[in-house]
Chains A and B, each alone.
Chain A
Amino acid sequence: MNLTALLIALPLASSPLIYLVGRAFPAPRRQAEPVCRWLSVGIMLVLWALWTRAALALSAGEALTTALGLLALRIDGLSLLFAALVLSVSTLVLVFSSADAADRDGIEKYYAMLVTTTGALIGMVCARDLFNLWVWFELVVISSFLLVSFERERPAALDASIKYLTQSAVGSVLIVLGIAFVLAQTSSLALDNLQPGRLAPGLLAAGALLIVGFGIKSALVPLHTWLPDVYAEAPTRVTALLSGAVTVSGLIVLMRALMPLMSAAATWGLLLIGAGVINTLVGNLLAFHQPDFKRMLAYSSISHIGTILLGLGVSLYAHIPEAAQAGLFHLLTLGLMETLAFLGIAALRSKQSITLTDLRGLIYRAPLTGVALLLVLLSLAGLPPLAGFMSKWQVFAAGFISPDPAVRGAVIIIALNILLALGYYLPALMALCTPDAHAPQAKTPRLPLSMQLPLIILCGLIVLIGLLPDSVRWLTGAASAALLAGGRP
């Protein structure tokens, strides 16, 4: 079997296996957890090995394609970048979960779904035609829905999962409509089938439908309403996966799906830039008064998605490859930062809703978690030399290459939003560092190693990428090249 097929088939095929192995244990299945966990970790490690081989093969210039009947898949630079993000996030979430979810009932389902989601996400960015893209997209929605609703005894969690499913379903419908429009107009669904010349109104409408359909997944304002509810109510480690990989995947498939319609690139670019400005503004303003820390982070991630949209939009609108690269760079760092933020909150192991008061003096009570949250907030706020600053700054710098006043205006507005964002990051930072006079200063018990490790790795990555931004350039560069090359290999 070739590399591409293996990278995608392995998680999908092994996920039922994990489930079945877990079920083989007699109830209450306490012994099932380590078996399922190590099985999943083993699969992740194999996937990493496959990914490394794929990266080497790709850099050697090999074409990594596979076709199973109508199902055509190809690994290109963009798939490689996103697969790296997905694998990082899901591996770390998996390792982290082993201590957090150990005493839960039905843990075998959790691990099985985590692995399925990983496979589906990788498959989604490798799809080479619109219909398959949609099928993968649905698989992601369903598997992640099961994860969101994992703590089904909490009504709020169920409520959130219903919202997630319903709005994703609406998105699906719109995507199918969009695909239908494309098929009706061009009688082809291949992503490589670039439509020349000016687009017919039907194709323009198709593009709009695709933008809105995938935009729901990646929380374009005003399609974002599911995101704060789900981020706040889903199990926090699942939120880490959602925010780190699933939400941003919408942006990548959106760019892919627009590929056949690239002769109207300027239109899509302008729309994305506009969406970026609105996302940043609305996300920041709504983050201000959130009493719940997770909701605040949810809105802040909406504003960060605005920055990615700016980078991607500028690359389409003004034909600036650096902007695509910077946008994808920010996508990568945002994924890592969000994962760290939500894993940090999960490490508190407190009640579902966290307020700033709960965070008071955290760096004294729980130094590792406190420092991790401190670092990620500083990075999200855009403090040099952390990763969040580097990627955001590169987006702005790439935007300023274009002399177009519309682009420059958008860059300036989004850059000024950093000040606005300080309005909610700073109180959180202060809470972390202010000793709590009322609560006893007793230290919380030490975290198990399986929780410490993901936090430390992510902190290290955020610092390292900030200091050496060029260390991931080979990934983002290849990804932006693949993105802008369209279907042509």
Chain B
Amino acid sequence: MFGLVPLILLFPTLGAGLNFVVGRRLPAGMIGCGAAVLAFGSALLQFSALLVQPAGTVIPLFTWIEVAGLHVDWALRVDTLSVTMMLVVTGVGALIHLYAVGYMRGDERYARFFAYLNLFLVAMLILVAADNFLMLFVGWEGVGLCSFLLIGFWFDKPNGEGWRNSSAARKAFIINRVGDAGFILALLIIGTTCGSFDFNVVFGGSHFLAGDPLVVALTLLLLLSAAAKSAQIPLFVWLPDAMAGPTPVSALIHAATMVTAGVYLITRAHGLFELAPLTQEIIVAVGALTALIAASAAIAQYDIKRVLAYSTISQLGFMMVAVGLGAYTAAIFHLVIHAFFKALLFLAAGSVVHALGHGGDMRMMGGLRGRMPLTFATYTVGALSLAGIPPLAAFFSKDEILSAAWTSHPVIGLLLLGAAGLTAFYVGRQLFIVFFREARSQPAARAHESPPLLTIPLIGLAGLAAMGGVLNWPGQGALGAWLGHTLGEFSEGTFMPAIALLSVGVSGIGLTLAYVIYGRQPLPASRCDPLAGRFFDVLTRGWGLNDFYERVLMRGFDGFGAWLKQADETTFAGLEAGAAHSTERTTALMEQTETHQLNWNIAAILGGLTLVLILSLWLGGR
């Protein structure tokens, strides 16, 4: 059974290849969808195999690199962690592919879109199935490339929108390069220290000592790349802009799967991170701050997808806290549940955007509850789950993280609790602005429910977002036991009734506040937010981190470039001119020897003979 694991990669590869080459003449959407569904089927096969033999195995495919004592295989790792990720990637991926068939209908590059989407699945599956760091890096880069291609998918839209889309794609790519640099340096440390990139060798051997500066450096570098991929402070600025991509892309890549790769990486390499307590503390701090700051920024967004983008950043912060605290089960639990409800929210938002004719400004919406009942119902399920209302799934997963945080340090607990409250508030705000009160624009007044191709995936995901909690039901700990086979310890995940009560209370307050501000009375006539103000603007701009980069870093580089240009035009140009001039003069001098006269040529030969004779007698006689 384990031997069939290459099928998971094979189907999306075939799908991508077919759609790239002959997609125009085939039903591209069906091919893309079919590939994702077949991959999900193969993942289920592996899952059933693991139920029998939970220790898993490694399936080597071929030798990749074989030089000077370094041996790297292309090998797929089948264990409970990787198969959990495969199930999420292919399962949620299949539903989103199905949704995209309807959402992207009529696009002029329809086949190309599904080719990219399948290619993304391949890269993401390589990432999670990799058995060594080098292969993981291939997937890591592959998902980055697909993310770039898909954010900028509508690069040719008119009126400057295409330019904005491609700028967003470039921004995502460049910021991820910062992280990649960290990853490459980490690879160098691993390669030179362990002489191998295999997980078993790196984690198994005693190459690193606890608290060793080398392992701290290594884990910090890995954290840098994880922070870029998973949009943590200070590298989260690309994710809100990435919403320029088509909505299925936002759902699949920028909510459910790719952005969680950082969390996965740290979980996978937990053996290394546990040797570096300093890095773990930094992870917790970064995660908690990100959770709070992104949640506060989400309050002040006007674009329906940007709210969800900041929400994603915030939720990734929760997961980071969990992995930093060593609560890996809680992190993966929340990762899975988040994939469900965030994909649902994005797709539902996409359904709204689709109905209104591609425009995400929430101020133009309102009153959609009656006109899009199915979208409203599923959206509400996802939103309440995100807000942490029991018994919806995210209540359980978030609660495990809160418990872990509270037991480690009350400050972290308080930060996360604050973030949870803000989460409930922005979720409520969005619900009320989009679906309640009166329609605030013509399209919103005329909107109607999306076709079944779009709503069926919503219903499926809504079911998962509501019921997902059973995966790790308090007291049962099924997921904990399952992951324990790979992570080496059984951690059931703690459920503390007091914390649960507290978090539900905070969520209730958040939702109530949202109702008081946004639900009870119509929005102000200026169509602005009732809370609008100077601080609100700062929040809208994501605490101004982006402005900081643009004003300080980019201008700094510009200045440095200008200075270099100046220096180049004066000092270096002078040096160059001097070098060129002296070369010219030497050449001119040598050209005097080009006499074209036989006499001189023979003379040169005799001169050469004399020289060689003297030299050889002198050198050989020594």
Contacts and interface: CB of A to CB of B under 8 A. Distances in A.
B617 A205 contact: yes
Contacts of A145: none
B471 to A, nearest CB: 51
Interface in A202-256: 204-205, 207-209, 211-212, 215-216, 220-223, 225-226, 228-229
Interface in B571-612: 583-584, 586-588, 590-591, 593-594, 596, 598, 600-602, 604-605, 607-609, 612
A222 B605 contact: yes
B204 interface: no
A286 B591 contact: yes
B608 A215 contact: yes
Given A201-B621, A204-B620, A205-B617, A212 B587 contact: no
Contacts of B621: 201, 204
B613 interface: yes
Given A267-B620, A271-B612, A271-B615, A289 B591 contact: yes
B604 A211 contact: no
A288 B613 contact: no
Interface string A242-286: 000000000000000000000010111011001000000010011
Given A204-B621, A208-B613, A286-B591, A223 B608 contact: yes
A327 B596 CA distance: 31
Interface residues of A, number: 41
B594 A208 contact: no
B620 A228 contact: no
B587 A285 contact: yes
B617 A166 contact: no
Given A167-B605, A285-B586, A208 B598 contact: no
Nearest to A263: B620
A208 B617 contact: yes
Given A208-B612, A212-B608, A228 B601 contact: no
A166 B602 contact: yes
A170 interface: yes
B605 A223 contact: yes
B620 A282 contact: no
A239 B608 CA distance: 25
Contacts of B602: 166-167, 170
Contacts of B604: 222-223, 225
A222 B545 CA distance: 67
B616 interface: yes
B1 interface: no
SS of A interface (majority):
helix
Contacts of A194: none
Interface string A165-195: 0110011001000000000000000000000
A468 B425 CA distance: 63
Interface string A455-469: 000000000000000
B500 to A, nearest CB: 62
A397 interface: no
Given A226-B601, A229-B596, A174 B609 contact: yes
B43 to A, nearest CB: 38
Contacts of B613: 205, 208-209
A282 B617 contact: no
A240 B604 CA distance: 26
B619 interface: yes
B470 to A, nearest CB: 56
Contacts of B616: 204-205, 207-208, 211, 264, 267-268, 271
Contact of B600 (A212, A225, A288): A225
B605 A286 contact: no
A271 B619 contact: yes
A228 B596 CA distance: 9
B587 A208 contact: no
Contacts of B605: 167, 170-171, 212, 216, 222-223, 225
A274 B616 CA distance: 12
Contacts of B619: 266-267, 270-271
A163 interface: yes
A62 B602 CA distance: 45
Interface in B447-495: none
A162 interface: yes
Given A199-B620, A208-B613, A228-B594, A163 B601 contact: yes
Contacts of A420: 583
A163 B598 contact: yes
B617 A204 contact: yes
B472 to A, nearest CB: 53
Interface string A137-180: 00000000000000000000000001100110011001000000
A367 to B, nearest CB: 28
A221 B607 CA distance: 11
Contacts of A274: 615
A286 B590 contact: yes
Contacts of A208: 609, 612-613, 615-617
Nearest to B586: A285
A392 B298 CA distance: 59
Nearest to A162: B598
B590 A212 contact: no
A268 B586 CA distance: 29
B613 to A, nearest CB: 4
Contact of B620 (A215, A264, A423): A264
Contacts of A289: 587-588, 591
Contacts of B591: 286, 289
Nearest to A201: B617
A227 B520 CA distance: 96
B126 to A, nearest CB: 26
Contact of B608 (A222, A229, A268): A222
B532 to A, nearest CB: 58
A205 to B, nearest CB: 6
Contacts of A198: 620
Given A163-B601, A208-B613, A288 B608 contact: no
B622 to A, nearest CB: 9
Interface string B516-549: 0000000000000000000000000000000000
Contacts of B587: 285-286, 288-289
A166 B612 CA distance: 21
B602 to A, nearest CB: 6
B604 to A, nearest CB: 4
B598 A166 contact: yes
A289 B594 CA distance: 12
Interface in B393-408: none
B590 to A, nearest CB: 5
Interface in A308-361: none
A171 B484 CA distance: 83
A41 B588 CA distance: 46
Nearest to B622: A267
Contacts of A288: 583-584, 587
Interface string B107-128: 0000000000000000000000
A233 to B, nearest CB: 10
Contacts of B583: 285, 288, 420, 423
Looking at B612, B615, B620, the one whose CB has the most chain A CB atoms below 10 A away is: B620
B601 A282 contact: no
Interface in B92-140: none
A101 B189 CA distance: 63
Given A204-B617, A208-B613, A267-B616, A167 B601 contact: yes
B601 A212 contact: no
Nearest to A286: B590
Given A222-B607, A225-B594, A285-B586, 19 more contacts: A170-B605, A198-B620, A201-B617, A208-B615, A208-B616, A208-B617, A209-B613, A211-B612, A225-B604, A226-B601, A264-B620, A267-B620, A270-B619, A271-B616, A286-B587, A286-B590, A286-B594, A288-B583, A289-B587
6 contacts: A201-B621, A220-B608, A222-B605, A223-B604, A270-B619, A285-B586
Name the 8 nearest CB pairs between A and B, nearest first: A225-B601, A204-B620, A267-B620, A208-B616, A222-B604, A208-B613, A267-B619, A212-B609
